Amino acid sequence: MATPSVKPVLLSMEQIEKLRTLQENERKKSPLGIAPTIHVIARQLMERALSTEMEA
């Protein structure tokens, strides 16, 4: 079985800024002032998008 080749996904600066805004919103909601990493937020958004696509 061949090993799939997976490359990193590059985001634009605008996309990264939007992720940072989401991260800051999460930090403000947290009583301890903590937030998920940009990578975690991006993975969660991708999972939601793929789940929505699969349901359509």
In this prediction the pTM is 0.79
Q: Would residue 22 count as lying in a domain?
A: yes
Residue 4: inside a domain, yes or no? no
- Number of folded domains that form the chain: 1
Q: If you search the block for the tokens 């301890």, which residue do you land on?
A: 32
Domain for residue 18, yes or no? Answer: yes
Interacting residues of 26 by C-beta distance below 8 A, sequence separation 6+: 35, 36, 41
What ranges in 2-56 are assigned the alpha helix state H? 13-29, 38-55
pLDDT reported for residue 53: 82
Let me know if residue 1 belongs to a domain: no
pLDDT at 54: 84
Query: Could you state, in chain order, the average pLDDT of each consecutive group of 10 residues for the chain (56 residues)?
Result: 83 97 98 97 95 84
What does the alpha-carbon distance between residue 36 and residue 30 come to, in Å, rounded to a whole number? 10
Q: Is residue 38 part of a domain?
A: yes
Domain around 35: 13-55
**Interior angle at CA 15, CA 5 and CA 9, nearest 5:** 5
Q: How far is it, in rounded angstroms, from Cα 10 to Cα 14?
A: 12
